[in-house]
Chain A
Amino acid sequence: EPEVTQTPSHQVTQMGQEVILRCVPISNHLYFYWYRQILGQKVEFLVSFYNNEISEKSEIFDDQFSVERPDGSNFTLKIRSTKLEDSAMYFCASSLDTNTEAFFGQGTRLTVV
């Protein structure tokens, strides 16, 4: 069964450093998403991506964040100058279109120290 894969499963970084979280969406899907879940809080939408551009983004997704689809398979989330409050589980998801369900990866647990 096709699945969304995320790497790494756990990333520890020092405050102020840049991190790149990687995702391989399901191959025929066209819509890609990043969500995050800070420990003890709800899952929150960050950004959606379609046709090589951001289609929606939340207030959380400020200039510190960027997304990219550098080739035909990967979808990355870059966080510049990480802060302690960026520590969270980051989930990548993909869907065939906006009316079908999103399939989620296992998540990357980011710990900023």
Chain B
Amino acid sequence: AQSVTQLDSHVSVSEGTPVLLRCNYSSSYSPSLFWYVQHPNKGLQLLLKYTSAATLVKGINGFEAEFKKSETSFHLTKPSAHMSDAAEYFCVVRLTSNYQLIWGAGTKLIIKP
């Protein structure tokens, strides 16, 4: 069965320092993976996606993620955090059987001034 595990429920970093949000997936097939972001009182916005092309995926707002098959990971990174990055981030895998999205529990990113 396909599943997603986000290893941290909360991550707190100082503004200007790097961000790392961890995600591991379980999939029998070559997965499609996504990161979505949800700012307070806003909808779910796609940050980036991996669909079996380049393993290093660049997204919006300076975020990127690297697909590592050997580690079954798809961690989200950003070199320098900004206050506006404070939000909840979801790692998502798309089932190959019926294209449903399976969601991780979410990681709340807190940015300290």
Contact = CB atoms under 8 A, between A and B. Distances in A.
A60 B80 CA distance: 40
A104 interface: yes
Interface in B74-92: 90
A42 B98 contact: no
Contact of B43 (A41, A98, A99, A107): A107
A42 B88 CA distance: 12
B31 interface: no
Contacts of A48: 98-100
B110 interface: no
A65 interface: no
A93 B51 CA distance: 19
Interface in B25-42: 32, 34, 36, 41-42
A45 B43 contact: no
Contact of B49 (A58, A101, A103): A101
A98 B99 contact: yes
A4 interface: yes
B44 A99 contact: no
Contact of A42 (B32, B44, B106): B106
Interface of A: 4, 6, 35, 41-45, 48, 55-56, 58, 91, 93, 98-99, 101-107
17 contacts: A4-B43, A35-B103, A42-B105, A42-B106, A44-B103, A45-B100, A55-B98, A56-B99, A99-B32, A99-B51, A101-B34, A101-B46, A101-B49, A104-B36, A104-B43, A106-B41, A106-B43
